[in-house]
């Protein structure tokens, strides 16, 4: 979308809002079928306008227009609603409020703050509640970074608010506004107070506030797209070392239920080295959201030592909350993520699960009686999914000062029966660059994260070497991962042979390959998310661990050549040390290098006794 178009949209919305003061457009309900309501007398309403429906004033969005009939998807339960009740057009698309106060918030799918709803309306969600996304009473201390008279336009940073100890909230000029800044002053403001005036050349004046709005279904503007080139370090060994995702990259995690999608998503939300994390719980379990809500304030960010909550925005639209709001939740999340990206931050968005989002689309589509494509999903499913993932990327932000930022999207997919030929999986695989395939068989063995090393892939593997300050180490890490992957592939082949003719038929080197591959799987790839040390592994430690395992392999190979029995090698005491290396805290990682010395000593003993 180009700039002119958006400013036209804003002006029009403004004009229409003025008009709306005089005559509010009101129609009447003629049909109610689940979450879809049809209203008549809606001439002049536009697609995706937000409407208030019925006597209960429920929030809805227009998804189809036919003459003066408008089909509306309603974001709340429609029980008790019938023909004749009023429908009011708000004349604006579904938008979110962006400004100080977003961080540490917990919203439902249409940006209503859940803690406030719980306080005012009780433990159960009631209907028709209106609650602004940002607190209107709280005052924020605003510090300008530009002087009066500065010429600004869309995206320019005019000042800052220290939102919490960790996040500096940059205040930007909203879309469609440009001109000279006047009366800008440091001080304490609420989000909707005027902090400065902006006088355009044609003499019109706009008020600049801490807060702005943005329609969720439109991508926010940027100056230009760049290719993602830095790894988003997650602290998860199988991901960082073998299938890395980048800052600005996209990844998907499909897998059957019970394969650990949500745990992986939670781990990423906890440990990624992003400045801001937006977590969208889209149609998932209530108790899991509660887990996030309770853990994030307690867990410390390994980099800043501050609670993780201080960099997070959570969106929780659980599976039993209205289906249309679920459809919107993903857009609400990505718009908030884009807003922080526009400030120049590295942002990561986790969406769990995009299948539920797609199902919400299907449900609405069915009620609209649209012609279905595969499995009842609407024909535009793939286009919507692609457009969503394309909102990720490393970018040059719009406005001054010049800044670079990135937004990564990591989407979980829940295919029926774990079947990867599912439409949502296939549409997702077309657009994402990283594929973490979760396998039920691994999960049954309690090998977590259950990411299959044989079928997963990443297009960003080349970025891995730049994770290390020492270039040589980076190149070595690259070689190590290639070697390790080679062994794992060899293992898969050898296991086929074992299945046919038995383990006895294997040569000693093959047997060693099997053992080393097992060691890579159990001692490196397997990672316990609930162990205080093992839950997060730095790149440096990953390097040391992998190097040690492969060092054992190399040493064992030469021992076999010297005539040592494989059974002797497998019995070495040092193998237990290798297995327990994952529990060595970050502060003591030099101990892992010491294990390599022990390996050499013990191998030497074996060799000498073999010669004797």
Partner 1 sequence: MLSIKEYQTVATIAGPLMLVEMVDEAKYGHIVDIELGDGSIRHGQILQVEKDKVLLQVFEGTRGIDVKRSTVRFLAKPLELAVSPEILGRVFTGLGEPKDGGPAIIPEKRLDINSRPINPYARDYPNEFIQTGISSIDGLNPLVRGQKLPIFSGAGLPHDQITAQLARQATVLGKAEEFAVVFAAMGITFEAAQFFIDDLHQTGAIERAVMFVNLANDPAIERIATPRFALTAAEYLAFELDMHVLVILNDMTNYCEALREISAARKEVPGRRGYPGYLYTDLATVYERSGRIKGKKGSITTVPVLTMPEDDKTHPVPDLTGYITEGQIILSRPLHRKAISPPVDVLPSLSRLKDKGIGEGKTREDHADLYNQLYAAYARGKEAQELATIMGEAALSEEDKKYMTFADKFEAEYVSQDYYENRPVEATLDLGWQLLSMFDNVELKRIDIKLIEKYMPKFRKANSEQD
Window 287 to 326, contacts with partner 1 (CB under 8 A): 287-291, 293-294, 316, 318-321, 323
Q: In the bound complex, what is the minimum distance in angstroms from residue 104's beta carbon to partner 1?
A: 12
At 377, phi and psi to the nearest 5?
-70, 150
CA distance 238 to 437: 12
Q: Which of 64, 69, 77, 457 binds partner 1 (CB under 8 A)?
A: 77
Does residue 117 bind partner 1 (CB under 8 A)? yes
Q: Quick one: which of 2, 18, 66, 79 contacts partner 1 (CB under 8 A)?
A: 79
Q: How far is the CB of 426 from partner 1 (least distance, A)?
A: 16
In the shown chain, the binding pattern of residues 571 to 610 toward partner 1, with x for contact by CB under 8 A and - for none, equals --x-xx--xx--x---------------------------
Helices (H), 347-470: 354-367, 381-389, 423-431, 440-444
Q: Is 53 among the residues that bind partner 1 (CB under 8 A)?
A: no
3-state DSSP assignment of residue 233: coil
What binding mask, one character per residue, do residues 159-198 give for partner 1 by CB under 8 A, x or -? ----------------------------------------
Q: Which of residues 437-496 bind partner 1 (CB under 8 A)?
A: 440, 443-446
How far is 68 from 381, CA to CA, in rounded Å?
Answer: 27
Least Å distance, CB 477 to partner 1, is 24
As a whole number of angstroms, the distance between CA 557 and CA 571 comes to: 15
Site for partner 1 in 346-365 (CB under 8 A): 356, 359-360, 362-363
Distances (CA, A) of 427 to 353, 354, 383: 14, 11, 8
What backbone phi and psi angles, to 5 degrees, belong to 95? -130, 160
The site map against partner 1 for 125-144 (x = CB under 8 A) is xxx-----------------
**What is the 3-class SS of 446-494, one letter each residue?**
CCCCCECCCCCEECCHHHHHHHCCCHHHHHHHHHHHHHHHHHHHHHHHH
Q: Which of 286, 297, 401, 486 binds partner 1 (CB under 8 A)?
A: 286
Q: According to CB under 8 A, which residues from 243 to 272 bind partner 1?
A: 256-258
Residue 294 structure tokens: 């309770």
Q: What CA–CA distance (Å, rounded) separates 477 from 397? A: 33
- For position 123 contacting partner 1 by CB under 8 A, the verdict is yes
- Closest separation in Å from C-beta 439 to partner 1: 12
* Nearest CB to partner 1, comparing residues 221 and 555: 555
32 vs 407, which CB is nearer to partner 1?
Answer: 32
| Residue 282 in contact with partner 1, rule: CB under 8 A | no
Q: Tell me: does residue 337 bind partner 1 (CB under 8 A).
A: no
Nearest distance in Å: CB 372, partner 1: 5
DSSP string covering 32-50:
EETTEEEEES-TT--TTEE
User: Shortest approach of partner 1 to residue 370 CB, angstroms?
Assistant: 9
Q: Which is nearer to partner 1, 5 or 571 (CB)?
A: 571
Give the residue with the Cβ less far from partner 1, 174 or 449. 449
**Binding of residue 395 to partner 1 (CB under 8 A):** no
The owner of tokens 């059957």 is 256
Rounded to the nearest 10 degrees, the angle between the axes of helix 381-389 and helix 354-367 is 140
- Residues from 9 through 38 that contact partner 1 (CB under 8 A): 30-34, 38
CB of 544 to partner 1, least distance (A): 18
- Should residue 372 be labelled a site residue for partner 1 when binding is judged by CB under 8 A? yes
Question: Which is it for the CA torsion 363, 367, 370, 372, positive or negative?
Answer: positive
Beta carbon nearer to partner 1, 9 or 257:
257
CA 380/CA 180 separation, integer angstroms? 43
- Whether 6 and 175 have beta carbons less than 8 Å apart is answered as yes
- Distance between start and end Cα atoms, the chain: 78
C-beta of 67 vs 122, nearer to partner 1 = 122
Residues of this chain, 420-439, that bind partner 1 according to CB under 8 A = none
Per rule CB under 8 A, is residue 418 in the interface with partner 1?
A: yes
CB of 531 to partner 1, least distance (A): 9
Please list every residue from 512 through 531 that binds partner 1, using CB under 8 A: 522-523, 528, 530
What phi and psi values does residue 409 have, to the nearest 5 degrees? Answer: -120, 130
Q: What radius of gyration, in Å, describes the C-alpha atoms of the chain? A: 28
**Closer CB to partner 1, 39 or 231, in the complex:** 39
Q: How far is the CB of 494 from partner 1 (least distance, A)?
A: 13
Alpha carbon distance 70, 301 (integer Å) = 48
Q: Pick from 36, 41, 16: which is nearest to 26 by CA?
A: 41
User: Is omega for the bond preceding 101 within 30 degrees of 0, making it cis?
Assistant: no
CA 438 vs CA 128, 264, 414, 425, 488: distances in Å: 40, 10, 10, 12, 17
Q: Is 603 left (phi over 0), alpha (psi -120 to 50) or beta?
A: alpha
Please, what is the minimum distance in Å from the beta carbon of residue 52 to partner 1? 17
Question: Rounded to whole angstroms, what are the CA distances from 426 to 381, 386, 418?
Answer: 11, 11, 12
Total number of residues that touch partner 1 (CB under 8 A): 80
Compute the least distance from the CB of residue 32 to partner 1, in Å. 4
**CB-nearer residue toward partner 1: 56 or 219:** 56
Q: In whole angstroms, how close is the CB of 192 to partner 1 at the nearest point?
A: 24
CB of 418 to partner 1, least distance (A): 7
Structure token pair of residue 60: 């809805």
Angle between helices 261-271 and 286-295 (to 10 degrees): 20
Residue 67 is a binding residue for partner 1 (CB under 8 A):
no
Furthest-apart CA atoms within the chain: distance in Å: 102
Q: Smaller CB distance to partner 1: residue 204 or 320?
A: 320
């Amino acid at each position: 979308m180009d700039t002119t178009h958006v400013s036209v949209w804003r002006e029009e919305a403004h004009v229409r809002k003025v008009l709306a003061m005089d005559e509010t457009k009101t129609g009447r309900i003629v049909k109610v079928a689940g979450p879809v309501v049809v209203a008549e007398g809606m001439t002049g309403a536009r697609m995706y306008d937000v409407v208030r429906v019925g006597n209960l004033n429920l929030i809805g969005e227009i998804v189809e227009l036919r003459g003066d009939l408008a089909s509306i998807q309603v974001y709340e339960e429609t029980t008790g609603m019938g023909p004749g009740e009023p429908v009011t057009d708000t004349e604006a698309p579904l938008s979110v409020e962006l400004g100080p106060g977003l961080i540490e918030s917990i919203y439902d799918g249409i940006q209503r703050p859940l803690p406030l709803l719980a306080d005012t309306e009780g433990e159960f969600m009631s209907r028709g509640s209106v609650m602004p996304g940002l607190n209107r009473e709280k005052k924020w201390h605003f510090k300008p970074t530009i002087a009066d008279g500065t010429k600004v336009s869309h995206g320019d940073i005019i000042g800052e608010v220290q939102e919490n100890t960790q996040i500096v909230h940059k205040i930007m000029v909203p879309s469609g506004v440009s001109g000279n800044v006047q009366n800008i002053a440091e001080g304490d403001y609420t989000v909707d107070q005027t902090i400065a005036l902006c006088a355009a050349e044609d003499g019109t004046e706009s008020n600049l506030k801490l807060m702005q709005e943005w329609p969720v279904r439109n991508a926010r503007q940027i100056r230009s797209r760049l290719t993602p080139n830095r790894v988003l370090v997650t602290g998860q060994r199988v991901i960082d070392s073998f299938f890395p995702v980048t800052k600005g990259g996209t990844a998907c995690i499909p897998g059957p239920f019970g394969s650990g999608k949500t745990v992986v998503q939670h781990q990423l939300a906890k440990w990624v080295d992003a400045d801001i994390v937006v977590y969208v719980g889209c149609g998932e379990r209530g108790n899991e959201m509660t887990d996030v809500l309770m853990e994030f304030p307690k867990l410390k960010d390994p980099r800043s030592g501050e609670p993780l909550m201080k960099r997070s925005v959570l969106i929780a639209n659980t599976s039993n909350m209205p289906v249309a709001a679920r459809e919107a939740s993903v857009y609400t999340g990505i718009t908030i993520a884009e807003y922080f990206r526009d400030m120049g931050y590295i942002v990561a968005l986790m969406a769990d699960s995009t299948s539920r989002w797609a199902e919400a689309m299907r449900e609405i589509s069915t009620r609209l009686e649209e012609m279905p494509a595969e499995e009842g999903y609407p024909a535009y499913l793939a286009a919507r999914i692609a457009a969503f993932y394309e909102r990720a990327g490393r970018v040059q932000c719009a406005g001054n000062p010049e800044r670079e930022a990135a937004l990564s999207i990591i989407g979980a997919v829940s295919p029926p029966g774990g079947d990867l030929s599912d439409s949502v999986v296939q549409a997702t695989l077309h657009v994402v660059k990283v594929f973490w395939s979760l396998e039920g068989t691994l999960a049954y063995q309690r090998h977590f994260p259950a990411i299959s090393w044989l079928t997963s892939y990443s297009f960003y593997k080349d970025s891995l070497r730049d994770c290390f300050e020492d270039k040589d180490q980076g190149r070595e890490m690259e070689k190590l991962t290639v070697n390790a992957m080679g062994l794992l592939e060899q293992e898969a082949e050898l296991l086929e042979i074992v299945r046919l003719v038995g383990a006895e038929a294997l040569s000693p080197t093959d047997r060693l390959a099997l053992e080393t591959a097992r060691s890579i799987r159990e001692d490196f790839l397997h990672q316990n998310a609930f162990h205080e040390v093992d839950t997060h592994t730095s790149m440096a430690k990953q390097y040391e661990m992998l190097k040690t395992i492969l060092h054992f392999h190399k040493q064992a190979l030469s021992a076999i050549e010297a005539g040592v029995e494989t059974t002797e090698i497998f019995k070495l005491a040092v193998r237990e040390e290798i297995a327990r290396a994952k529990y060595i805290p970050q502060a003591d990682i030099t101990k892992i290098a010491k294990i390599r010395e022990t390996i050499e000593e013990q191998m030497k003993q074996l060799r000498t006794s073999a010669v004797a």
